[in-house]
Structure 1
Amino acid sequence: MSTVKDVTFDLLRRLGLTTIVGNPGSTEEPFLKDFPKDFDYVMALQEASVVSLADGLSQGLRKPVIVNLHTGAGTGNAMCAILTAYLNKTPLIITAGQQTRDMLLIEPMLTNIDATSLPRPWVKWAYEPARAQDIPAAFMRAYATAVQQPAGPVYLSLPLDDWDQPMDATDVLRTVSTRVGPDPARVTEFGARINAAMAPVLVYGADMARGGADVWADGIALAERLGVPVWASPFCERPPFPETHPQFAGPLPPAIAPLSALLKGHDLIVVIGAPVFRYYPYVPGSYLPEGAELLQVTDDPDAASKAAIGDSLVSDAGLFLKALLPQVNARVAFAGGPLRKPPQTPTGELPLTPAAVYATLNALLPDDFVLTQESPSNIPQLQDQIRVRKPDVSYAFASGALGWTTPAAVGLALAERQSGRNRPVLCVMGDGSFQYSIQGVYTGVQQKAHLIYVVLQNEEYGILKEFAELENTPNVPGLDLPGLDIVSLGKAYGANTSKAETTEELAGAFKGALDHHGTSVIVVPITRALRGLLG
């Protein structure tokens, strides 16, 4: 007779889920014992890094990844990363060990008490099987829940003594659809309102990028048929439109009044694949310019429900575009020239400006690469100098919670290797952000991932100083970061590490890192001058 573990691992094979990312604990060892040779185990040094690494791997491979955490303690460590995976719409199947059933009533040490409540509200579903033999079917339900729109993480709490329990070799494999189609009547209504508008404008969100190259192409087709500007939604975690396209206007600011001001002159704002809207600092004003209306298309019913303004349609962005395009009239072709100015020419001052760092990197990047970043105070300079022109190139995080990118970049690099694309991954980090999950460097080194961390060191939390200026809150303690020897930290984890203070030194170090085909860390001192939170 088979065991629960036999049936479960057979199901995972048939689902194509043979990579497990984890940090092993005592309650997980029965699941991991005699680990199958046809599975890969990727180990990270802390549970937040485990989840973030799996998030990057899942996004890079466009399929779910199994995550293995250590009961309630490991889940607690991982909660921030689980929150981010939920907002990233990443389909992770998160498992956590649980104490043996024989002792659950008396709650011994490391019991995951009220296990299904712990990860909520940041998982789509959480479950602890009532019987050991329910585990394979629970994995199947977890998979089905994770991949359906809006995709996201799910959570299984699994008692350690369940795995060797006998069970029949039951076949629980089934399939589910992964996209939600639009209401045809609502598409017709939206098409008519677009055709009737005098000056519509498009706002695209990260769902356009998650949809892949076909959705990008249809998004371009709609923009060119209408001949209108395209903005990226605020805090958009993945570029939804070619940033080199002449109709691309740039990212919208994450504040009510400034966002509304940029859309002035448009009578219809069409938002596809994004919330309405992600705001951060409170700058009061009208949500929309006077006389403007808004249409929203999202695959997330919750995002449609909580939108502050506008009329919503729940649908996969790509399926909506396929249905809408035949109903939209072509307008006069766009003839205004590029809406964005060319990249600013950086100054030669020392310490280097972020613009100088990014311009230097951009000149040396190969045609195909992966970009990810967590340097909040200088993202506008990054977006100005390195303009993404293809889908599935740039990745960030939707939560605003630091610590995701260092390990997620490892996952993205592993996805490049598993997929055979083998693009180098450039990960731009602030010196403060880098400390949140710096142990992710270790996994990159051990996995021989072709990954280059460029750490911009200004010895401060620049984004918080910008926020303090906006909010008029002077003399906030804890915003300076002196004494971080990041070169030594990179070397301690085994990375190919160097410091570059000039553009010439940076160019040499970056060329060497591209040739290294392992994990590198380049530390670049930069100016402490602040830009301003809203530009």
Structure 2
Amino acid sequence: MAGQSIRDVTFQLLRELGVTTVFGNPGSTEETFLKDFPADFTYIQTLQEASAVAAADGYAQATRKPALVNVHTSAGLCNGMSGILTAAMNRTPLIITAGNQTREMLLMEPWLTNVKPAHLPEPWAKWAYEPVRAEDVPAAFMRAYAMALQPPAGPVFLSIPLDDWDKPATGPAVVRTVASRIGPDPARIQEFADALSQAKNPALIYGGAIARGQGWKQAIALAEKLNADVWSAPACERPPMPETHPLYIGGLPFATGPLAEKLEGYDVAIVIGAPVFRYYPYVPGPYVPEGLRLLHITDDAAEAGRAPVGESLLCDAILALEELTSRVSARPANPGRKARIAHRMAPHPASHPVTEGEGISALELFQTLRQALPQETVLVEESPSNLGDLHTAWPVEHEDSFYTFASGSLGWGLPAAVGIALAERESGRNRPVLAIIGDGSFQYSIQALYTAARHKLPILFVVPCNGEYGILKSFALLEKTPGVPGLDIPGLDIAALGRGYGCTSLRVDTLEGVQAACADAIRREGPTVLEVPILPSIPPLI
């Protein structure tokens, strides 16, 4: 150990943990950490911290391992907070680090000091800490890794004064392993199994945790043994099973009254791997219909605690599916099944253009994209006003082929697609990535285009341009708030923005042009930005 610094010991710990990819945007207080950057580590440069966090989120989800993010002291942490919020709700294990000013100056709070580093990322970081001594830095990284992985997985934060890294280490870091799954209470899981077996008409409500745990096979097994309708939980960020499966109905709406209406006729419903429930617009009504017994399985005690109704069990979603399948009684086919919803996971149906005349509708655009691109294409979505059209045109049929954000905080999709494409390359799967980003959403983390271009990632960014915040106009109708300013965003040149960051960019206004652009993008090395004007529409919210 003679002569080893805190930096040496920490990088060795990260090697042993398999965390060797760093997403970041370097700042002055981080240069001591990044000095003599090891050749066996990979640094993914972004141009803004929001892009760094979201790209790491996509990468961590697609690789199923924690990712390391390095942001710039308090300023960079503030820039990245939207991404940290989304990573928390996505249940993505991230270790987010930032430098701080030299310890000798912290008392005076000089320029760029993170004054309260443990408080600034609250409440979205699971754990946040600035080590009391430089010698504690490696152990703090080990604890951060453990905290990020243990259920519920999520982002953690470490603040490291810039002069800590060159100080001498007192010994090697202690490497530990941690469990990332929790099993069910045997009596409670049997109680839930008995309720499902005895139900006259049970319903399964599946959440994103099933996809995160690679649990489609287990989700299908339970559904088929019970012959029960399967719903996606409201605003589900990952599809919990193939949307073309005969038992899959669609997504529940994210409002109390309409959700309860969808569950009419069931006597037992079980939510697995999702909150009870994720709501957005307030539409009065009961949480569940009268006579429905609601069961809830989650690995998050806080999520179970805040549920307004239902009986809860703490357990990993996949272990719960396996246990329930082994314990429930097989049921015959249900002749009174609910009708399948055409818009699948989306909270609202496909829209209809409000402008008559020539032009491309959102639905036509997405149907053309589905036909023009390979079946194994990975879809990343952030176009809120077009969700019904996209999910109508693009059923998710393959595991790990669809990603969106659980938080509703715009700016995640574009950089997340970069992280997912990096993971596709690293894993050798090399599936093409399609990112559908609205023209409004496109502006939030546009700097990630630079990273896509620099790494020559084969991403097709399709921007359906309606020149407005369509989803906000939908809310204006629901909330009866006419005359809200700022809902139109004319004058954007998406193709020019793409070219400015080094991407191949073009604007097309015909479906034939879309098909040709897709064919070129598949063959091209590097990213493509495709701007497509679409007819404006105001979708219903639910």
TM-score range, shorter chain: over 0.9
Cα deviations by residue, 1:367-396 (Å, 9 ceiling, x for unpaired): 212111110011011111100112111000
Partner of 2:346: none
More displaced, 16-25 or 329-338? 329-338
Task: Give me the whole-angstrom Cα distance separating, in 2, the residues matched to 1:482 and 1:170.
Answer: 58
Gaps of 5+ in 1: none
Report what 1:444 is aligned to. Answer: 452
> 1:383-430 deviations in whole A, cap 9, x for unaligned?
111001121110001100000111111000000001111011100011
Note if contact 1:256-1:282 (Cα within 8 Å) is conserved in structure 2: yes
1:490 is displaced (CA, Å) by 0.8
| Bigger mean CA offset, 358-367 vs 96-105 | 358-367
TM-score, normalised with respect to structure 1: 0.97
Partner of 1:434 in structure 2? 442
Contact between 1:451 and 1:520, CA under 8 Å: does it hold in 2?
A: yes
Query: Kindly tell me: are residues 146 and 72 of structure 1, through their superposed partners in 2, closer, same or farther at Cα, counting changes over 3 Å?
Result: same
Number of the residue aligned with 1:259:
259
Task: Check whether the contact 2:249–2:341 (CA below 8 A) recurs between aligned residues.
Answer: no
Partner of 2:8: 6
Residue identity opposite 1:367 in structure 2: Q
Alpha-carbon deviation of 1:493? 0.8
More displaced stretch, 343-352 vs 291-300: 343-352
Question: Could you tell me how far 1:220 is from its partner in structure 2?
Answer: 0.4
The reply on whether 1:275 has 2:283 as its aligned counterpart is no
Aligned to 1:229: 229
State how far apart, in whole Å, the 1-side matches of 2:286 and 2:338 are. Answer: 28
TM-superposed CA distance for 1:269, in Å, is 1.1
Unaligned residue ranges in structure 2 (runs of 5+):
344-349
Q: Does the CA-based 8 Å contact 2:434-2:459 persist in structure 1? A: yes
SS of equivalent to 1:454: strand
- Alignment length, in residue pairs? 532
- What is the CA–CA distance in structure 1 between the aligned matches of 2:357 and 2:433, rounded to whole Å? 28
Partners of 1:126 and 1:350 in 2: CA distance: 54
- More displaced stretch, 335-344 vs 145-154: 335-344
Cα contact 1:429–1:453 (8 A) shared by 2 = yes
Q: Deviations over 1:336-363 (max 9, x none)?
A: 7994366889999632111101100111
> Is 2:351–2:538's contact at 8 Å kept on the other side of the alignment?
no
Aligned residue among 89, 98, 101 for 2:100: 98
Correspondences of 1:467-486 after superposition (within 5 Å): 467-486=475-494
> Cα deviations across residues 298-321 of structure 1 (Å, max 9, x unaligned)?
111111000011101111001111
SS of structure 2 residue aligned to 1:151: coil
- TM-superposed CA distance for 1:228, in Å, is 1.5
**Match of 1:303?**
303
Other-structure match for 1:466:
474
Partner of 1:156: helix, strand, or coil? strand
Structure 1 residue 277: deviation in Å?
Answer: 0.5
- 1:274 maps to a residue whose letter is A
Distance 1:517 1:231 in 2: 39
The aligned counterpart of 1:30 is 32
Give the AA of the match of 2:484.
V
Query: Does the CA contact (< 8 Å) of 1:127 and 1:156 recur in 2?
Result: yes
Partner of 2:414: 406
Corresponding letter in the other structure for 1:321: L
Once the two structures are superposed, the pairs formed by residues 282-321 of structure 1 within 5 Å of their partners are 282-321=282-321
Instruction: Give 3-state SS (helix, strand or coil) of 1:360's partner.
Output: helix
Match of 1:383 in 2: 391
Identity of aligned residues (%): 55
Indicate if the aligned counterparts of 2:434 and 2:461 stay in contact, CA closer than 8 A.
yes
- Structure 2 residue corresponding to 1:83, chosen from 65, 82, 85: 85
Are the equivalent residues in 2 in contact too, given 1:296–1:313 (CA < 8 A)?
A: yes
Alignment of 1:444-523 (within 5 A): 444-523=452-531
Kept in 1: contact 2:205–2:231 (CA 8 A): yes
Q: Secondary structure at the match of 1:167?
A: coil
> Shift of the alpha carbon at 1:530?
1.5
Is contact 1:246–1:337 with CA below 8 Å preserved after alignment? no
Out of 159, 162, 165, the position equivalent to 1:163 is: 165
Give me the whole-angstrom Cα distance separating, in 2, the residues matched to 1:523 and 1:471: 31
Separation (CA, whole Å) in 2 of partners of 1:89 and 1:244? 26
Equivalents in 2 of 1:333, 1:420: separation in Å?
A: 41
The Cα of 1:114 is off from its aligned counterpart by: 1.0
User: Equivalent residue for 1:369?
Assistant: 377
Query: What displacement does 1:531 show?
Result: 2.2
Which residue number corresponds to residue 124 of structure 2? 122
Q: Corresponding residue for 2:400?
A: 392
Equivalents in 2 of 1:395, 1:517: separation in Å?
A: 23
Give the structure 1 partner of residue 366 of structure 2: 358
Q: Could you tell me whether the CA contact under 8 Å between 1:373 and 1:428 is conserved in 2?
A: yes
Distance 1:346 1:422, change over 3 A: farther
Structure 2 Cα separation of the partners of residues 302 and 525 of structure 1: 43
Cα deviations by residue, 1:487-526 (Å, 9 ceiling, x for unpaired): 1111111111111111111111111111113110001101
Local SS of the residue matching 2:99: strand
- Rate the CA distance shift 1:152–1:272 in 2: closer, same or farther, 3 A: same
- Cα deviation, residue 171, structure 1: 3.6
CA distance, structure 2, for counterparts of residue 275 and residue 427 of structure 1: 26
- Aligned counterparts of 1:24 and 1:367: Cα–Cα separation in 2: 38
| Partner SS, residue 80 of structure 2 | helix
Query: Where does residue 51 of structure 1 map in the other structure?
Result: 53
Q: Answer whether contact 2:90 2:405 (CA < 8 A) is retained.
A: yes
How far residue 447 of structure 1 moved from its aligned partner, in angstroms, is 1.1
State the Cα deviation string for residues 183-232 of structure 1 (Å, max 9, x = none).
111001101111111111111000010011xx211110111111111111
Query: Which of 513, 523, 526 is 2:534 aligned to?
Result: 526
Q: Kindly tell me: are residues 226 and 35 of structure 1, through their superposed partners in 2, closer, same or farther at Cα, counting changes over 3 Å? A: same
Tell me whether 343-352 or 155-164 shows the greater mean CA deviation.
343-352
Q: CA RMSD for the aligned pairs? A: 1.6
Equivalent residue, structure 2, for 1:60: 62
Cα displacement (A) at 1:168? 3.4
Whether contact under 8 Å (1:47, 1:74) holds in the other structure is: yes
| Secondary structure, counterpart of 1:368 in structure 2 | coil
Q: Which whole-Å CA distance do the structure 1 matches of 2:531 and 2:182 have between them?
A: 45
1:33-58, Cα deviation, whole Å (9 max, x unpaired): 11111100001011111100100010
Quickly say closer, same or farther: Cα 1:342–1:266, change in 2 above 3 A: closer
Change in Cα spacing, 1:421 to 1:322, as seen in structure 2 (3 Å) is same
The alignment status of 1:190 with 2:198, answered yes or no, reads no
* Cα distance in 2, alignment partners of residues 336 and 349 from structure 1: 42
Matched, 1:419 2:421: no
The CA distance in 2 between the partners of 1:341 and 1:377, in whole Å, is: 18
Asked whether the equivalents of residues 246 and 339 of structure 1 are also in contact (C-alpha less than 8 Å), the reply is no
AA aligned to 2:304 is A
Q: Paired residue for 1:240?
A: 240
Q: Distance in 2 between matches of 1:125 and 1:258?
A: 36
Counterpart-to-counterpart distance in 2, 1:526 and 1:25: 40
Q: 1:452 to 1:501 in 2, by over 3 A?
A: same
2:287 touches 2:309 (CA, 8 Å); kept in 1?
yes
Deviations 1:424-454 (A, max 9, x none): 1100011001011111111100111111100
